Structure 1
Amino acid sequence: MKYLENKSRETQVDKTVEHLPAGELMTEDLPWGLPQAFADGIPVYRGKHRGNYTTLSANTDGEAIAQWLAEKAADSVATARAYRREAERFVLWAARVRQKCLSDLDRSDFVAYREFLKSPGADWIMARQLSRRHPDWRPFLGPLNDKSVYYALSVVSGLIQFLVDTGYLRANPMPSPKKPPGQSFSPIARSLSKAQVAFLFSAVNELPVQDGRSELMKLRAQWMLTVFTTTAMRISEACGHVMGDIRRVPLKAESVWVFMVTGKGGKQRAIPLNQRFITGMVSFRRSLGLGMYPDPEETTPLFPKLNQVSDSGDVEGLVLEGMGSRHAYRIVKELMLSAADIASKAGEEYEAGNLREAASTHWLRHTVLRDIADETEDLRLVQQFAGHSNINTSAAYSAKDLESLVEGLRGL
């Protein structure tokens, strides 16, 4: 734990952490470090809502947040990143604006934070994504919409409730976040049409090739689309797995290819792989100089980085690293923008609009699950394929009721 002198507060706080000198104002780093623009730190003292006994081995708010992250987000890199971002925004705001530590915040502070998220102000916004080490780094890229405000408050609410449940806080002073009206989830509305999928593959086929490396990058992009449009994997799942997770398993009458996926909450599932996936896999592996099929112990990333590959495209002797979720998202999003241009030139402005403005990698997951629901009409299969905890989540992918309604009204 790193403690720093707090020079930003003028008022003295007499409730100090037990092992710090009484009456001395201090601040602490966040568990993952502080961005340069907020190097003053967050206040460290015993707030009025601190409990007298806790099951956490934490002396400060920062240490308690670290244990919350370790317990609630350990199974997903993407979840850990998102939770850390929201916790950081919150405690930096509390320190800079309210001049309080987390355990000293009242209900009115949480209400004020909700309004702050809607309009953070210029001092909290950066014009473009910057490194946390950059002096112009800020916690926001702009004001949050209602959906993002609800998500941010839900994460903070989970943190506060965790601290109450573990005895770190005596009570929960935070009002329950209210879901904004009109924000009901419809995965069918957030899926791609067959025409949009075709435009997407046209976009990857039109990627330019100047040398061996760019050709390899094009083949990787084709492979990524193949994975996303056949497996319905979340982007965090795809970026967290290796080729060795693709295996052939015996069934009663035959053996089949499956992808052994570890998803949210550490839950494991086996995704059956179709011939399009296998054909794409063999093609991409050959481009990397690998054998046709992976070995169960193979550690080649499913989506490898290619920054070390020479212009000739030779990967022999290289230890390939896996790309992160942001890298994969950026590649697919650029393909969607190119697909939108192709659709627009073809006169399909509606198809182009969704690809350009709304679609993301997660829409590919919705698309696959919608198609499975349409073909099988079996929500249990959708649940198993997707790795949903609740079958009600899977039910949202069924368009059967909507189709019946359309058919019933067709003759009116």
Structure 2
Amino acid sequence: MANQPQSLTVPPARTYTRADFTALRAFVQQIPPATIARLYYDPEVAPHAATPETMAQFLRTMRDELVQLALLHGSPVLADHLKTSIRKHGSAKLTAVSLRMVEDASRLAAAVPAPHHAIGFWFRPLVAQRLAGEGIMTLQALVDYCNTHGGSWWRSVPRIGPLRARTLVAWLRRHESSLGVRVAADVDTRPFVPTDEAVVIGGDPATPRLAPFERMAVPAALSGGDGAGAVDGVRARGTNRAGAFAFIRAPHDLAALHAYLHRYRDRPATLRVYTREIERFVLWAVIVRGVAVSSVTVEDCEAYKDFLAQPAPSFTGPKRPRISGRWRPFTGTLSADSQAYAVRVLRAAFRWLVEVRYLAGNPWHAVHDPATVTQETRVQVDRALPATLWKQLRDALDHTCSQETVETGARQWRAARAAILLMGDSGLRRSEAALATREQLQPADVRVSLRADAAGEVTSKVVGDPADSTARIWTLTLVGKRRRQRTVPVSPDTVTALRAHWRDRGRDFDASGASGPLVAPLVVPATQDARRRHAHGNPGNGMPYAADALGCLVRTAIKRLARRLAEQGTLPASCSPEDLAQLASTSAHALRHTFGTQAIRQMPLNVVQTILGHTSLQTTSIYTRAGRQQMLDAAGRYYSAGEETLVAAGG
């Protein structure tokens, strides 16, 4: 028997991923299996990484299978070396060099990426978790996400910066043939560097050349300028240009509109929305109507009203960064209120151009606003979270912040918690929360009623003893909407969350003279805009979040928590699936409504008005109105009672 030729039994064909080969190299270098499982695998995708024992068994099996393949496909020298090692030790003892030779000889065992493969099958667990947080579960979903969002797709995925994004896109491009799907050409593998070069708008309205207002240039014939610039007999100077001396030095329409918008340089929110409406109109006038802004007539204005009701497909698209080639001026059809707002903004802009004697008249004066329906409430109170759901969100935040590790983003979770509590417990707008600073936050003593004695007199206690920091009430003085200053209370829970966030930033919240933004980014993204904003300050210390970035931080955290609560099934019975769906879609501003609806039950109306910064008490009173569900429940009880009355009366 011993002298009979031995046959080599080759196991069934098996595939391994890049992560498997990396893990095997670590195993050969005697790195503990538990460490290998934690570094290279996601247990939900790779069951063999659940325990150190199963991890070690998997790697030993993989090693033996690769050795057998190498014996078949490798060189005679490698085969003799492996056979000698097997006779001596019972199994092949590999070194880093021999393992590399085995891998080269057994490439037939390498897996081929497929669209349905899970992300965790090919990428490290931390990367897979961050992608899964945005609902990207498969390679097909990742390609679709990149193609939908363009070159800046990584901006909306927490902790996926441009370098890692470039690596992922390059990997997808290398495996396009096996995946059977292609990454769009404008999803560049290089970081996008914004340029100040102007883009001349125009072209066919079906495939136009579009550009945001700050990068926009208009063909000379449609510029409304003072120069010759005539093309095909069309005069460059607008037909509505005033003949008298103008009060602004504007040689053409774009310069005049820039001068108008410059008036709002100290009101960034107003500047942003006015710029949006003006750039939309300029793009439409030049590309669709083929007329200079300073030459539009009442008929042109009426035509633009119709365009607002149904923008052309070439002008609409998902929201994208303004530096992206996929940016579009519209995200879809505008509501009647948004159409009316656009007309009012343009009417005001043209009125100013007439006042400074750039234009001779205002054609928008002869145009009526689009018809609108007066809403029951202009404040979307229904977006507020119910009290039980708000408490569940807070508990889930606390639990997540205590359970997460540094590697999985604990610091980012604590930053989100501080921002969420700052808005949900004090009714701040996201722009107010983003600009709030430590200098504006001060402790205050408050007097609270305890009980009434036999004579009916109420005894009270002063809360705010420095020795009792948990009971201390804090106040935040800020400048809010329309440049109005107000002071709002800040809860002890919020201050505790802020202290934890400041520790993550390496700063002492309670130090004498502590200053800086209450909530600040811990890492500055590797983008030109971010680096320019933080050029004069260190991450976490100097510059605050932008309002949009803070809103994104809050939305992302709440969406991820909602997904976890749904998967864990830890919601109380009082929370319906509709409540969970509402939580998943909760925005930063909805937290302000959450505060308003709950504060109105325990505070006087005028106090809530002061905290929220409402000019009119009527606006604050909206929070006292019955919610839609409350109204329906009451109506149901009323109708049921009416039917019972009729039955009792023999009706």
Distance 2:201 2:479 in 1: 46
Moved more, 62-71 or 290-299: 290-299
Counterpart selection for 2:426 from 192, 217, 231: 231
Distance 1:189 1:388 in 2: 18
Query: Does structure 1 residue 332 correspond to structure 2 residue 554?
Result: yes
Distance 1:239 1:224 in 2: 8
- Check the 8 A contact 1:43/1:99 in 2, yes or no: no
Query: Does structure 1 residue 43 correspond to structure 2 residue 223?
Result: yes
Structure with the higher fraction of residues in helix conformation: 2
Query: Does structure 1 residue 120 correspond to structure 2 residue 304?
Result: no
Moved more, 365-374 or 318-327: 318-327
Counterpart selection for 1:71 from 252, 258, 263: 263
Counterpart selection for 1:82 from 241, 251, 273: 273
- Which residue pairs with 1:96 in the alignment? 287
Distance 2:484 2:258 in 1: 23
- Which residue pairs with 1:286 in the alignment? 503
CA deviation string 1:260-316 (max 9, x = no partner): 2111222111112222222222232233232233656712x222112259xxxxx99
Question: Match of 2:432, as an amino acid?
Answer: E
Q: Structure 1 residues 97, 283: CA separation in 2 closer, same or farther (over 3 Å shift)?
A: same
CA deviation string 1:342-378 (max 9, x = no partner): 3585472121232345x32111111212223232242
Alpha-carbon offset, residue 5 of structure 1: 12
Question: Match of 1:355, as an amino acid?
Answer: L
Distance 1:316 1:4 in 2: 32
Distance 2:415 2:546 in 1: 14
Distance 1:249 1:60 in 2: 56
Distance 1:236 1:91 in 2: 29
Distance 1:50 1:3 in 2: 28
The TM-score with structure 2 as length reference comes to 0.51
- Which residue pairs with 1:260 in the alignment? 477
Distance 2:321 2:436 in 1: 28
Query: Structure 1 stretches of 5 or more lacking a match?
Result: 10-28, 310-314
Counterpart selection for 2:522 from 306, 325, 334: 306
Counterpart selection for 1:241 from 420, 428, 436: 436
Alpha-carbon offset, residue 211 of structure 1: 2.4
Q: Structure 1 residues 280, 178: CA separation in 2 closer, same or farther (over 3 Å shift)?
A: same
Distance 1:323 1:340 in 2: 24
Q: Structure 1 residues 57, 109: CA separation in 2 closer, same or farther (over 3 Å shift)?
A: same
Question: Match of 2:421, as an amino acid?
Answer: T
- Check the 8 A contact 1:340/1:352 in 2, yes or no: yes
Question: Match of 2:394, as an amino acid?
Answer: F
Alpha-carbon offset, residue 332 of structure 1: 1.8
Query: Does structure 1 residue 157 correspond to structure 2 residue 340?
Result: no
Distance 1:232 1:332 in 2: 14
Query: Does structure 1 residue 222 correspond to structure 2 residue 417?
Result: yes
Query: Does structure 1 residue 189 correspond to structure 2 residue 382?
Result: yes
Counterpart selection for 1:354 from 539, 558, 582: 582
- Which residue pairs with 2:467 in the alignment? none
- Which residue pairs with 1:13 in the alignment? none
Query: Does structure 1 residue 384 correspond to structure 2 residue 610?
Result: yes
Q: Structure 1 residues 372, 69: CA separation in 2 closer, same or farther (over 3 Å shift)?
A: farther
- Which residue pairs with 2:327 in the alignment? 137
Query: Does structure 1 residue 374 correspond to structure 2 residue 601?
Result: yes
Three-state SS of the structure 2 residue aligned to 1:231 is coil
- Check the 8 A contact 1:244/1:294 in 2, yes or no: no
Moved more, 194-203 or 233-242: 194-203
Three-state SS of the structure 2 residue aligned to 1:375 is coil
Q: Structure 1 residues 318, 302: CA separation in 2 closer, same or farther (over 3 Å shift)?
A: closer
Q: How many residues align?
A: 379
Q: Structure 1 residues 85, 296: CA separation in 2 closer, same or farther (over 3 Å shift)?
A: farther
Distance 1:165 1:295 in 2: 52
- Which residue pairs with 1:20 in the alignment? none
Q: Structure 1 residues 188, 63: CA separation in 2 closer, same or farther (over 3 Å shift)?
A: same
- Check the 8 A contact 2:523/2:539 in 1, yes or no: no
Greater length-normalized contact order (CA 8 Å, ≥ 6 residues apart): 1
CA deviation string 1:36-60 (max 9, x = no partner): xx77586133433344355545443
Q: Structure 1 residues 171, 405: CA separation in 2 closer, same or farther (over 3 Å shift)?
A: farther
Question: Match of 1:281, as an amino acid?
Answer: L
Question: Match of 1:286, as an amino acid?
Answer: R
Three-state SS of the structure 1 residue aligned to 2:263 is helix
Question: Match of 1:32, as an amino acid?
Answer: E
CA deviation string 1:9-66 (max 9, x = no partner): 9xxxxxxxxxxxxxxxxxxx987332xxx77586133433344355545443323323
Alpha-carbon offset, residue 95 of structure 1: 1.4
- Check the 8 A contact 2:224/2:295 in 1, yes or no: no
Distance 2:201 2:483 in 1: 43
Three-state SS of the structure 1 residue aligned to 2:624 is coil
Distance 1:249 1:56 in 2: 50
How does 1:392-407 map onto structure 2 within 5 Å? 392-399=618-625
- Which residue pairs with 1:12 in the alignment? none
Alpha-carbon offset, residue 386 of structure 1: 1.6
Report percent identity of matched pairs.
22
The TM-score with structure 1 as length reference comes to 0.76
Q: Structure 1 residues 406, 112: CA separation in 2 closer, same or farther (over 3 Å shift)?
A: same
Greater radius of gyration (CA): 2
